[in-house]
Amino acid sequence: MSQKIQVVLEEESLRDGLLAESRLLGLTEKLHIVRLLKDAGVKRLQLGSFGHPRSVPQMANTDVLVSLARKEFPDLLSTALVPNEKGLERAVHCGLGLASMSVSASDSYSLRTVGRPAAEALELTVALIGASVKAGTMSRAGVQCAFGCVFEGVVPEETVLAFVDQLVAAGATEINLADTAGMANPLQVERLVAKVRAAYPEVELSLHLYDTRGLGLVNMYAGCVAGVRLFSVAAGGLGASPLFTGASGNVASEDAVNLFHGMGLETGIDLVGLCRVVDYYETLLARKLPGRMNRVLHSQPEALAKLGF
Amino acid sequence: MSQKIQVVLEEESLRDGLLAESRLLGLTEKLHIVRLLKDAGVKRLQLGSFGHPRSVPQMANTDVLVSLARKEFPDLLSTALVPNEKGLERAVHCGLGLASMSVSASDSYSLRTVGRPAAEALELTVALIGASVKAGTMSRAGVQCAFGCVFEGVVPEETVLAFVDQLVAAGATEINLADTAGMANPLQVERLVAKVRAAYPEVELSLHLYDTRGLGLVNMYAGCVAGVRLFSVAAGGLGASPLFTGASGNVASEDAVNLFHGMGLETGIDLVGLCRVVDYYETLLARKLPGRMNRVLHSQPEALAKLGF
């Protein structure tokens, strides 16, 4: 029997997806979402952020959510954003599986989001990764604006690669390149992925792509062709940087699943199960989300059944 | 100086884009759209359909529109859908540049749209192409549902290739593979494109992709990598088969331009000019269209200026 290529989707709707929502989700609602995602086959799940509850009230219940999710689903890889030392303490305390640290390669974006130039934010991130490694927590390092910045335009490849060098040296075992502004094009994705993979073949490389300009799935496809097997997604395409108006959010998990299954790859995720999560989000948030496959499923159920979904 | 690769976009908003609209556009409105498109650099434009005005009232003014557009813009390649002999007469009479004939590779879709099984519709299309060639009109042959059908699921590649054989033999100088139901995936596009190009290297191959499942641009990218240089698009992503509810229409012209320019290819089309057309459609139709770049342009004008748009 031929082995299918496996692609892992990290579900980020509970973190990046909810970051800009005014409707705060309670613990029971979030736990219901975790269960629906687990039922659908999601194995890696970003549960929230350990930022200060005053800055990210949407994520105030992350500690409890991580503890409860770990207890109920020991085989789930729980991840969360860890912005500082205090956040790392909380993450370690509740037994988080993987800590995600992140820094912007664009000065302007860094100044607007964390009030520091990128070089200074990088130093702090490097120290934080060191502390995370020391605490025995798996550490992923993200580079925001890795493919461009609305404030600066092009972000030079060399800048991104220099950031990656420092983040790997600090001990990160995974590098996540984020197209925060949705400005990447597929040739650029191929090129940068090839360079990072060549420099650090032993480091896991993941991509966090945005669909702002309609190229989220195009760039995901190009990344996959270039060898990436781990992608950040969010059910329904939920989420968008509040700094970028007009942004239309993450690549929808269900659309990514449809792409990869159509290509004959495996994600371990059930499309119909995933669409139940989208339905639930749409009920909670009282609006339609931009992802496509949930709408297709509701309007063409027989068509999908014919294709084995 | 290095020569950039040229991609041609056939603008289909005035035909496929308006086919399902209840608001009928008048001649003055359509002519204004033609002028805006021409200003933006569009060189190939589908102006309407020569179907019976009772079946397609949206296209009733196609004859006059073609005549006026030809007179005002002699260098514009005017195209239109020609469904039958009577339509061909009208097309020839008003001096249409290129006649587009089309047939479904799926029986179920063919029965539902033209009331005939696909084989029978193919015979009629072959005869029509013959008549068009005889009349001295450039002839493009389209295969609908070339990548799948919501009613039948998978449409076998051999069926599509057999259709292409007959359409080329009839005298078509261009083959247009249409993903009518938006079901293609990029590997499938690459595979079918490679086969048709290998069989008929002298025939122009174009793709008409739909974004129903969010893969319109992904498949366009895959088609381009496989060597296709001619694509059907519609400003704003206007248009969708009325048979497929949940369908979200054509690939938006402005998003295709952004993809290709980002890759360093040339389309000869100005993104900002194209967005003026989208604005006008949105005013006429009193709703937002699904294309992304117009929204990005309105919300991040400085960002686009920085990238040279």
Give mean pLDDT, residues B141-170: 96
The answer to whether the Cβ–Cβ distance between A153 and B263 falls below 8 Å is: no
pLDDT at position A306 over 80: no
Q: Which residues of B touch A153 (CB under 8 A)?
A: 303, 306-307
The answer to the question of residue A90 being in a domain is yes
Q: Which residues of A touch B214 (CB under 8 A)?
A: 217, 252, 255, 258-259, 291-293
Contacts of A244 in chain B (CB under 8 A): 299-300
Q: Locate B83 and state its tokens.
A: 């469904």
Contact of A259 with B218, CB cutoff 8 Å: yes
Contact assignment for A214 to B252 by CB distance below 8 Å: yes
A&B contacts, CB < 8 Å: 122
Look at B298 and A246 and tell me if their CB atoms are within 8 Å: yes
Q: How far apart are CA A46 and CA A254, in angstroms?
A: 16
Contact flag A215-B295 (C-beta cutoff 8 Å): no
CB of A213 within 8 Å of any CB in chain B?
Answer: yes
Of the candidate ranges A2-6, A170-174, B75-79, B150-154, the one whose mean pLDDT is the lowest: A2-6
Q: Please give the model's pTM, rounded to 2 decimal places.
A: 0.95
Question: In the numeric block, which tokens belong to residue B230?
Answer: 């001619």
Given a cut of 90, whether residue B300 has pLDDT beyond it is: no
Cα B12 to chain center, whole Å?
5
pLDDT band, residue A93 (cuts 50/70/90): very high
pLDDT given at position A303: 65
Q: Please determine, for residue B309, whether its predicted confidence score (pLDDT) is greater than 70.
A: no
Q: Tell me which chain B residues have a C-beta less than 8 angstroms from the C-beta of A262.
A: 185, 187-188, 215
- Strand-pair category, A77-81 with B8-11: unpaired
CATH number of the domain where residue B220 is located:
3.20.20.70
pLDDT confidence of residue B150 = 87
- pLDDT band, residue A307 (cuts 50/70/90): low
Residues 240-259 (A) with a CB less than 8 A from some CB of B: 244-246, 248, 252, 255, 258-259
Question: Could you tell me which chain B residue has the CA closest to the CA of A307?
Answer: B153
Residue B2 domain flag: no
Model pLDDT, residue B262 = 96
- B300·A245 Cβ contact <8 A: yes
- 3-class DSSP string for chain A: CCCCCECEEEECHHHHHCCCCCCCCCHHHHHHHHHHHHHHCCCEEEEEECCCCCCCHHHCCHHHHHHHHHHHCCCCEEEEECCCHHHHHHHHHCCCCEEEEEEECCHHHHHHHHCCCHHHHHHHHHHHHHHHHHCCCEEEEEEECCCCECCCECCCHHHHHHHHHHHHHCCCCEEEEECCCCCCCHHHHHHHHHHHHHHCCCCEEEEECECCCCCHHHHHHHHHHCCCCEEEEEHHHCCCCCCCCCCCCECEHHHHHHHHHHCCCECCCCHHHHHHHHHHHHHHHCCCCCCCHHHHHHHCHHHHHHCCC
In angstroms, the CA B294 to CA A22 distance is 26
The answer as to whether A1 is a domain residue is: no
Above pLDDT 70, what percent of chain B? 94
Kindly report the nearest CA distance between residue B156 and chain A, in angstroms. Answer: 13
How far apart are the two ends of chain A, measured CA to CA in Å?
A: 22
For B174-180, what is the mean pLDDT? 97
Nearest chain B residue to A151, by CA: B303
B243 within some domain: yes
pLDDT at site B245: 52
Residue B220, SS3 per DSSP: helix
DSSP assigned state of B155: -
Whether B1 maps to a domain, the answer reads no
Distances (CA, A) of A22 to A63, B35, B218: 20, 44, 33
CA distances from B125 to B99, B101, B193 (A): 12, 7, 22
Secondary structure E strands in B38-97? 44-49, 77-81
B212 touches chain A (CB under 8 A): yes
CA dist., res. B118 & res. B106, Å (int)? 6
pLDDT tens digits along A114-161: 999 999 999 999 999 999 999 999 999 999 999 999 899 999 999 999
In a domain, B21, yes or no: yes
Residues in A touching B244 (Cβ below 8 Å):
299-300
pLDDT over 80 (residue A215): yes
Chain A residues 289-308 with a CB less than 8 Å from chain B: 291-293, 295-296, 298-300, 302-303, 306-307
Whether B242 shows a pLDDT value over 60: the answer reads no
| Best residue of B149, B218, B293 to probe chain A, by most A CBs closer than 10 Å | B218
Residue B220: band (very low, low, confident or very high) from pLDDT cuts 50, 70, 90: very high
Model pLDDT for residues B91-148, shown as the tens digit of each residue: 999 999 999 999 999 999 999 999 999 999 999 999 999 999 999 999 999 999 999 9
Domains contained in chain A, number: 1
Contact call for A212 and B293, based on CB within 8 A? no
Q: Domain range holding A166?
A: 8-306
| A2 within a domain of the structure (yes/no) | no
Mean pLDDT score of chain B: 94
Round to whole Å and give the CA distance between A289 and B59: 33
Tell me whether residue A113 is in a domain.
Answer: yes
